[in-house]
C-alpha cells in the first residue's frame, strides 16, 4: 500500500510541478503596472520552434474581471529588430466571454521555412473592447534550424 501511495504522490508531483518548470518565464512590460490579467507562463510546442512547422503558444493567465472580447497584439523582434507584428481578435484565441479566473490563450503559427534560427523576443498586449490595457508581457523563445525530412 505504501508503494502505491508513493507512486501516486510522484505522479501528482509530475503533473503539478513539471508543467510549471517547462513554462517560459514572462516579464511584464511595466513592473509597476497593475494589470487585470496576470500571466502565469507560456508553453511553446515544439521548443525550439521549427521553421516550416506549426508552433503553438499557450499562455496561462488569470483575470480578475470578466472579459467580453478584445484584441491581442503580437510584436516579434530578432536581435532587437522588429520582424513581425499582428493583431488578433481575442475571441479567436480563447473562448469568450472570459470569466474571472483562470484561462488559456492559445495561438498557432507556422513560420516560413526560411526563418533564421536564433533567439527572438515576443511582446504581447491584450486590450478589452474599449481599448483598456489588460496585460502586457514579453518573453524570449528560440527558433531552431529548419525541419528535417524525418520530421515530415
**Block residue for cell numbers 510541478:** 17
Q: What is the arithmetic mean of pLDDT over 85-102?
A: 95
- Quote the DSSP letter at residue 49: B
Q: What is the arithmetic mean of pLDDT over 124-149?
A: 88
Peptide bond into 46 cis (omega under 30): yes
Percent of the chain residues topping a pLDDT of 90: 71
- Which triple of cell numbers denotes residue 87? 493583431
Answer yes or no: are the C-beta atoms of 139 and 26 closer than 8 Å: yes
Determine the distance from the C-alpha atom of residue 81 to the mean position of all C-alpha atoms in its chain, rounded to a whole number.
21
> Quick check: helix, strand or coil at residue 91?
helix
Q: Using the predicted structure, report yes or no on whether residue 55 has a pLDDT greater than 70.
A: yes
pLDDT at residue 146, as a whole number: 65
pLDDT at residue 25, as a whole number: 84
Q: What is the arithmetic mean of pLDDT over 61-73?
A: 96
- Give the span between the Cα atoms of 95 and 129, in whole angstroms: 15
CATH class held by domain 23-146: mainly beta
pLDDT at residue 21, as a whole number: 42
Q: What is the pLDDT of residues 32-49, one digit of tens each?
A: 878 999 999 999 999 999
pLDDT at residue 108, as a whole number: 94
Q: Using the predicted structure, report yes or no on whether residue 138 has a pLDDT greater than 70.
A: yes
Amino acid at each position: 500500500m505504501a508503494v502505491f501511495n508513493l507512486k501516486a504522490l510522484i505522479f501528482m508531483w509530475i503533473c503539478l510541478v513539471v508543467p510549471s518548470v517547462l513554462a517560459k518565464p514572462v516579464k511584464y512590460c511595466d513592473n509597476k503596472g497593475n494589470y487585470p490579467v496576470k500571466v502565469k507562463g507560456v508553453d511553446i510546442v515544439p521548443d525550439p520552434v521549427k521553421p516550416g512547422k506549426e508552433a503553438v503558444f499557450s499562455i496561462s493567465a488569470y483575470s480578475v474581471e470578466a472579459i467580453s472580447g478584445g484584441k491581442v497584439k503580437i510584436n516579434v523582434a530578432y536581435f532587437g529588430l522588429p520582424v513581425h507584428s499582428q493583431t488578433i481578435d481575442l475571441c479567436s484565441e480563447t473562448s469568450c466571454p472570459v470569466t474571472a479566473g483562470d484561462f488559456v490563450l492559445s495561438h498557432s503559427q507556422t513560420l516560413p521555412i526560411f526563418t533564421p534560427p536564433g533567439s527572438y523576443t515576443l511582446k504581447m498586449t491584450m486590450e478589452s473592447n474599449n481599448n483598456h490595457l489588460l496585460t502586457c508581457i514579453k518573453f524570449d523563445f528560440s527558433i531552431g534550424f529548419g525541419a528535417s525530412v524525418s520530421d515530415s
